[in-house]
Amino acid sequence: MVVEVTSVPNDEEALFGAVDALLEQVAQDPLPSPAERKRLREAAGLSQDQVAKALQTRRESIGNWESGRSEPRPPKRAAYARLLEGLAVRFPAPDAAPAPAAVPEAFTRSAPPSVPAPATEAPAAPAAAVRPAASSTRPSASSRRPGAKKAAKRPAATAAADGRFENGPLAVVDVDDDGQVVAYCVGGLVLDVPAKTLPALVDWTLSEAKLGQARLHRHGKDADPVLVLTSTALERYGLPAELSPEERRAGRLPAGHKVVKQIARAGQQLTQRGFGAWARVYREPEGSRRRCVQLCIPAWGALPVDEWDNKNDPQLPTMHAADLARFLGTYADRVMTPRGTTAVTGLELMTALRPPTRAEKDEATGEFKQAFNDDALTRLYDVVECEVPDEHPILKGKFARHHMRTPAEMLMEEPYNWCRPLTDDECMQPYLVAIDVNMAFAAAANGLTVGLNGPTRLTGNPKFDPALPGSWLVDLSHVDLSRVQVAGRTVDAHRLPSPFTPTGERPEGPAWYATPTVAYAVELGFDVAPIEAYVRTQTGRYLDPWYKRLRDAYVATMADLGVTTDMGGQEFLDAMARSKQVDPALALVLKAIKATAKGGIGKLRQRNRGQVPYSEPWPALDRATWRPDIRAAVLASVRVSMHRKMMKTAAASDVYPVAIGTDALVYPSPGPSPLDFLPHTADGKPAPGTFRLGVSPGMVKHQGTQTVLWAEQQFEEHGGVFNIANLIKTDQTAGEGE
């Protein structure tokens, strides 16, 4: 009997193919946990190379599947599931009985492991640390629905209460090994990105991504979502890998670039800054709802190494997109969503915590109108000649060309930069130990009363009032520290810097000083007789919430690194030494927090960036937050606070600093540790009012140790004009100088 063999019709083949596709999708669910996948492979004696060869993929992909950083995609997923199922039958878990005919219990719906999101309060242990993987290999993408979550649910404490921002403040957009555009979010979340063009990416972010950050103050504004574009994402969306020399000088792409034209054709807009390293793309608002996305492009210099990275060992260029999302997400959660450089973010944080305006209901009409907040910087005021830098337009034609303004013409409140020769007794000490004030600029802002309105000029020898912030023209050259007694003891004034000048030299005549400096002269017991002054009558502690936010961020990050506020003495020093090896990514978060504090204060007197002619106005002058008098008050407080502690330290133990560089002090010491020279009471506690070791802002840490012989060699080499405080650093990234 002859059996005729007929071919399967094409329509049946199509049906079979569709059924096979469905079977592949069904096979996506039952995958063991990443740890179980690795156990099964190793139990069978298989290498990652063998499995990769069988599945026709790369060995790195197998490693990513076993670490949970990514999931296999069809059709490899079904084959991988079949392999694991067979291995599970042959090599069951030690606590599970063999089940030849059934799928082992280990097979459950799998997702990348949950990465602990940064806590908003200081954690008790370093468990929540951001831990980047050792490898920077880009993982294969998991099987995802567009916009679907592929991570375990974030802890309730860190999930945004506002459903609009449930996926976090930002995402890092990357292209995986399979060519799929993905967005790595905070908490291990991975989203599929369907957008094929940059305008489509912006619209997807506004409509589907659920990115952003809720306002920090009830009268403030929600933060715009931030997309960080990796190098592969730049290529995918038609952007250059780096800017040309002309584009770098301009800080943006030219208006004729194809992507800029795409944005215009899509009805979207760019801000006046154009398309640069930090670009804002927006659509017209819908009612009161902003529709804006901020793009961050590290390859174009958006994250400068001296602010966000370790310049001695850069990590960001090789950091995986998921780790970069956790790094920036931790910063955003504890400080705020980055708005540009750390300095820009520091200034924006002030405004976010002290919004200038609020909505107020008009009782007569029932409509809401804009009202100013009394505790904020709300508008531009006239500037004072002595408070502005040399290039300010108000000084145009006031002085001869190349004239150097004197202290009687300019408010010179700057950090210490002082160094003196060692005495014979100090040369007999073996070591020089440097200590560094934690978050010195932020700590000085705590509780500081600043002016919130414009200046009022006082003439005719006005009486000094420490409650009025501002600038005072006064002669402090008569202040003789050798007559000052601290705790009943006279200190050696010749071995201490003057508290009234950044150089530590005694003033020679009338000079402009900020209120904290003059108040310190009064505190020391000296009479002051101002000649004139510019004061602000509306006052407030404008920087208090800013300080508290940064303090909490700093303390929480240090706690993640294993250094807590209850530590002191040797326990604190040991914990600080260990913290440098705990987590490199968290160390970068810490550096960014410190840079935010110092940069935010510096932005209060942002200077001309090279506009020509030199005396023309620059954009920063249009900000209500351009307040050089507030910056001067903060820096004066830093210097005064350090001098007060130097005096009490000298009175308690007869030790004196030999150099000061911004917020670092160098002391001769019989031993290599700060504990060898810092004064203590009989019960072992720090002497009251002196420098105290600890993690809180305003306390000090060990910055480094050198020998006295080394210092003498430096003085000889540099002819004696040299500040050794700038070189005594065990950690070259230490210090928060402005």
Domains for the chain: give ranges and CATH numbers.
27-110 (1.10.260), 126-132+139-340 (no CATH), 341-738 (no CATH)
Grade residue 21 by pLDDT with cuts at 50, 70 and 90: low
The region of weakest confidence among 22-26, 247-251, 478-482, 582-586 is 22-26
pLDDT in tens, 80-90: 888 888 888 88
Give one DSSP letter per residue of 331-362, joined into a string: HHHHT----SSHHHHHHHHHHHHS-SEEEEE-
Cβ atoms within 10 Å, residue 712: 14
Q: Helix, strand, or coil here: 706?
A: strand
Grade residue 127 by pLDDT with cuts at 50, 70 and 90: very low
The radius of gyration computed from the CA coordinates of the chain, to the nearest angstrom, equals 31
Highest mean pLDDT among 102-106, 286-290, 592-596, 734-738: 592-596
Alpha-carbon distances, residue 714 vs 36, 491, 655, 726 (angstroms)? 59, 28, 22, 12
Q: What is the pLDDT of residue 95?
A: 56
Contact 532, 462 (CB under 8 A): yes
Question: Distance between CA atoms of 211 and 299, rounded to whole angstroms?
Answer: 22
Beta strands in 395-508 (DSSP E): 416-419, 431-437, 450-451, 456-458, 470-475, 485-486, 489-490
pLDDT at 641 over 60: yes
Q: Considering only CA atoms, which of 156, 158, 154, 149 is closest in space to residue 118?
A: 158
CB-count exposure of residue 157 (10 Å: 0-12, 13-18, 19+): exposed
Q: What is the pLDDT of residue 6?
A: 42
Cβ atoms within 10 Å, residue 347: 26
Contact 321, 259 (CB under 8 A): no
Q: Helix, strand, or coil here: 63?
A: helix
pLDDT at 7 over 50: no
Question: Distance between CA atoms of 415 and 634, rounded to whole angstroms?
Answer: 10
Q: Considering only CA atoms, which of 607, 594, 634, 628 is closest in space to residue 734?
A: 594
Q: Helix, strand, or coil here: 87?
A: helix
Q: What global pTM score does this model have?
A: 0.79
Q: What is the pLDDT of residue 3?
A: 39
pLDDT at 732 over 70: no
The region of weakest confidence among 66-80, 200-214, 497-511 is 66-80
Q: Read off the DSSP letter of residue 99.
A: -
Q: What is the pLDDT of residue 368?
A: 86
pLDDT at 416 over 50: yes
Instruction: Round the average pLDDT of the chain to a whole number and report it.
Output: 85
Contact 112, 190 (CB under 8 A): yes
pLDDT in tens, 23-59: 555 445 568 888 888 888 888 888 887 888 888 887 7
Cβ atoms within 10 Å, residue 621: 15
pLDDT at 455 over 50: yes
pLDDT at 731 over 60: no
pLDDT in tens, 663-714: 999 999 999 999 999 999 988 899 999 999 999 999 999 999 999 999 988 8
The region of weakest confidence among 9-18, 160-169, 383-392, 611-620 is 9-18
Q: What is the pLDDT of residue 162?
A: 66
Query: Side chain identity at 475, as an amino acid letter?
Result: D
Sort residue 381 into left (φ over 0), alpha (ψ -120 to 50) or beta: beta
Q: What is the pLDDT of residue 18?
A: 58
Residue 94's Cβ-side half-sphere holds a number of Cα atoms within 13 Å equal to 2
pLDDT in tens, 235-287: 999 999 999 999 999 999 999 999 999 999 999 999 999 999 999 999 998 87
Structure tokens at 396: 């145009």
Q: Residue range 177-190: average pLDDT? A: 92
Handedness of CA 416, 421, 422, 423 (dihedral sign): negative
pLDDT in tens, 645-662: 999 999 999 999 999 999
Question: Distance between CA atoms of 421 and 708, rounded to whole angstroms?
Answer: 11
Q: Helix, strand, or coil here: 26?
A: helix
The torsion defined by the Cα of 329, 335, 340 and 341, in degrees rounded to 10, comes to -110
pLDDT at 524 over 60: yes
Q: Considering only CA atoms, which of 604, 639, 609 is closest in space to residue 387?
A: 604
The pLDDT > 90 percentage for the chain reads 63
pLDDT greater at residue 157 or residue 600 = 600
pLDDT in tens, 128-168: 344 333 333 344 433 343 444 444 334 333 334 567 899 99
Burial code (b: 16+ CB inside 10 Å, e: under 16) for 424-460 equals eebeebebbbbbbbbbbbbbbbbebbbbbeebeebee
Q: Residue range 347-373: average pLDDT? A: 91
Q: What is the pLDDT of residue 324?
A: 95
Grade residue 299 by pLDDT with cuts at 50, 70 and 90: very high
Contact 670, 708 (CB under 8 A): no
